Structure 1
Amino acid sequence: MKALIFPGQGSQNLSMGKECIALDERYEKYFDIANEILNFDIKSIIFGEDINQLTLTENAQPAILICSYIKYIHNESKYLNIKALAGHSLGEWTALVVSGVISFEEAVEAVHSRGLFMSNACEPNKGSMAAVLGMKIEEIEKILNNYDDVIIANYNSPMQTVISGETEQLLKSMDELKENGAKRIIKLNVSGPFHSHLLNKAEENMRIKLEKINFKTPKIPIVQNVNAKFEIDPYIIKENIIKQITRPVKWVESIENMKENGIDEFIEIGPSKVLSKMIKNILMDVKLEYV
């Protein structure tokens, strides 16, 4: 059985989406729709030359959503027997659109606001994130018990974990993790401590933002980051997508749960195949495809 998966922030690259427009110029309408909703030219940012401008959270989030969705539309006819959808953090919003929970237009506006809320929820340089490589999750958790404001943000694979929190504590925890066996630690170029309690204000703002959006029953179950469970209840899906801002991304558990429920083929749709690389380190006996 097959599942579609969609990457999140960090998968962006300049000119992403151009290959789809080259195949069918009708896809350009999705950029036009987004420009009108956002009231600025997101297409010129994506197709421009300034990667720093594209990487700004409020730009990267709608940009990745738009390009992932265009890729899905282009390949939709190939994937008619899909049993589950999942996305990594921001990528879950693409899954919502593909499953018909919300419209493309609603998602574009929502994720732009999400990016702004996340960027502005914490003072500049007060919070950050880091990727910890080559260290077991249990060992990371044990060390982080010494730090009130540093938590695990992303359970990406058994040997790749992202931590998030207050910058000073984060730097101290990085040193301790290195001293205790982490093979490598990479401080991430992000605008805040995503997926941590330091973004409570962003979660509150997102709840208000989504109050008037009617979430529909998905055509395909969505395995959500917050609980790693198959969900079809619109109320639960909305609650989980709001809570996602301050809760860890349970990617390892999500993939393992899908495998336990018969998913043996994962098709990644988005600007890069970052999730396929993660899954290779989670499961050995599944088929992976990237489009």
Structure 2
Amino acid sequence: MAIRFYFPGQGAQYENMGMDFYESFDSYKKLQEEVALVADLPLLEILKDPDALSETENAQLAIFSMSFGIAKLLSEEGIFADEVMGISLGEYAALAYSGAVRQLDTVKMLKKRSYFMSLAAKEKEGFLAAVSFLEESLVEEAVSTTENVYVSNYNAPNQLVVGGDAQKKEEILSKLKEKGAKKVTFLSVSGAFHTKYMEKAALYYGEYLKNIKFFPPEIPVYANVKGNLYERGDDFRKLLSDHVDHPVRLSSILSSMEKKEEDLHVVLGPGKAMASILKQNKVPGEVVLVSSVEQFKEAVRRVKER
């Protein structure tokens, strides 16, 4: 049996998320205070303000601090992951958990990453839209004939995310429907993340990463850009800067995993998107969501019973 931890990406945040952990566990509270101090953010105030929480620079650090905090609580219970994966910014929690980068360096990285991405989003108005129930090749055909629109996420064989120039929303919507898309959902995000609209952010971020020290991961970590595991000799700085303006390849990651029916997939932090993606990719095993203290206690019980 393998235990895998999954860390969510931006868009999963919600008002007051993680406050029950904050009030119940001193170690979780301490982590939130450390993140707030290093990032110079009033994290508790942000969690109580949905408008502030929706801003890229706040959302990324809030989601990281919650999901990573829960992973640390599981460690205190003697529960450890055999492999880890994150969606978009969730990859940073996965890397920190694996020991590939120091915890506080991760906070500094996300502070810069979100800042550069936010600047790029303000410079070029963009969009993201989830395309459901349409084959990957047909989505790619629609995108290839639409200027300044790109695939940003390969979530499942029939679930992709596209994004780009906000002026192209109606055009790409029409083309996707012509191809047979049953559902196209425009996402509530501030920019066309993981597309060429983030090129400038990726460039600036790549320069910043030259100051960060990385270490060999202590457990396997999946890289969004590669669609597979980080390997010895990989350039972490290039992969993470490319991560900003290149598509996320979750379906490739999930197909590359060695999976068994007895595996346990633990989704840490806000949202249910990762559980849905696991289901769409027909990944065998049990999925456990942990976004509340009640769910945390139930997850600990179920793991220890195995």
Instruction: State the TM-score, normalized to the length of structure 2.
Output: 0.88
2:30 matches 1:14: no
Q: Deviation of residue 125 (structure 1)?
A: 6.0
Question: Secondary structure in 2 aligned to 1:9?
Answer: coil
Name the counterpart of 1:32: 33
The 1:281/1:188 distance shift into structure 2, 3 A limit, reads same
Seq. identity, % = 28
In the alignment, the residues of structure 1 paired with residue 259 and residue 71 of structure 2 have an alpha-carbon distance, to the nearest angstrom, of: 25
Matched residue pairs, number?
288
Q: Deviations along 1:213-240, whole A, 9 cap, x unmatched?
A: 1001111111110011111437433321
Name the counterpart of 1:171: 170
CA RMSD of aligned residues (A): 1.9
Q: Deviation of residue 63 (structure 1)?
A: 0.5
Name the counterpart of 1:97: 96
Q: Deviation of residue 34 (structure 1)?
A: 1.6
Instruction: State the TM-score, normalized to the length of structure 1.
Output: 0.93
Q: Deviations along 1:14-67, whole A, 9 cap, x unmatched?
A: 111212223213321112212221223122111x1x212101000000000001
For the Cα contact (< 8 Å) 2:129–2:187, is it kept in 1?
yes
In the alignment, the residues of structure 2 paired with residue 37 and residue 210 of structure 1 have an alpha-carbon distance, to the nearest angstrom, of: 17
Q: Deviations along 1:155-177, whole A, 9 cap, x unmatched?
A: 11222211011112233111211
Name the counterpart of 1:202: 201
1:155-170, aligned counterparts within 5 Å?
155-170=154-169
For the Cα contact (< 8 Å) 1:226–1:247, is it kept in 2?
yes
In the alignment, the residues of structure 1 paired with residue 54 and residue 233 of structure 2 have an alpha-carbon distance, to the nearest angstrom, of: 31
The 1:73/1:198 distance shift into structure 2, 3 A limit, reads same
2:136 matches 1:137: yes
1:233-252, aligned counterparts within 5 Å?
233=232, 235-252=234-251
Question: Secondary structure in 2 aligned to 1:219?
Answer: coil
For the Cα contact (< 8 Å) 2:254–2:283, is it kept in 1?
no
For the Cα contact (< 8 Å) 2:259–2:283, is it kept in 1?
no
In the alignment, the residues of structure 2 paired with residue 75 and residue 199 of structure 1 have an alpha-carbon distance, to the nearest angstrom, of: 35
For the Cα contact (< 8 Å) 2:39–2:108, is it kept in 1?
yes
Name the counterpart of 2:227: 228
In the alignment, the residues of structure 1 paired with residue 262 and residue 234 of structure 2 have an alpha-carbon distance, to the nearest angstrom, of: 25
Name the counterpart of 2:114: 115
Q: Deviations along 1:191-249, whole A, 9 cap, x unmatched?
A: 11100111111001111111111001111111110011111437433321111111111
Name the counterpart of 2:294: none
The 1:78/1:10 distance shift into structure 2, 3 A limit, reads farther
Look up the equivalent residue of 1:223 and give its one-letter code: Y
Q: Deviation of residue 250 (structure 1)?
A: 0.4
Q: Deviation of residue 261 (structure 1)?
A: 9.3
In the alignment, the residues of structure 1 paired with residue 213 and residue 155 of structure 2 have an alpha-carbon distance, to the nearest angstrom, of: 31
For the Cα contact (< 8 Å) 1:127–1:193, is it kept in 2?
yes
For the Cα contact (< 8 Å) 2:31–2:65, is it kept in 1?
yes
In the alignment, the residues of structure 1 paired with residue 249 and residue 276 of structure 2 have an alpha-carbon distance, to the nearest angstrom, of: 16
For the Cα contact (< 8 Å) 2:259–2:284, is it kept in 1?
no
Q: Deviation of residue 123 (structure 1)?
A: 4.0
Q: Deviation of residue 78 (structure 1)?
A: 4.2
In the alignment, the residues of structure 2 paired with residue 289 and residue 216 of structure 1 have an alpha-carbon distance, to the nearest angstrom, of: 29
For the Cα contact (< 8 Å) 1:20–1:74, is it kept in 2?
no
Which ranges in structure 1 are unaligned for 5 or more consecutive residues?
A: none
Q: Deviations along 1:142-164, whole A, 9 cap, x unmatched?
A: 11110231111011122221101
Name the counterpart of 2:303: none
Look up the equivalent residue of 2:155 and give its one-letter code: N
Q: Comparing 120-129 with 171-180, which one deviates more in the overlay?
A: 120-129
Name the counterpart of 1:217: 216
Q: Deviation of residue 124 (structure 1)?
A: 5.2
Question: Secondary structure in 1 aligned to 2:245?
Answer: coil
The 1:284/1:107 distance shift into structure 2, 3 A limit, reads closer
For the Cα contact (< 8 Å) 1:21–1:28, is it kept in 2?
yes
For the Cα contact (< 8 Å) 2:124–2:197, is it kept in 1?
no
Question: Secondary structure in 2 aligned to 1:110?
Answer: helix
In the alignment, the residues of structure 1 paired with residue 261 and residue 284 of structure 2 have an alpha-carbon distance, to the nearest angstrom, of: 12
The 1:263/1:255 distance shift into structure 2, 3 A limit, reads farther
Question: Secondary structure in 2 aligned to 1:210?
Answer: helix
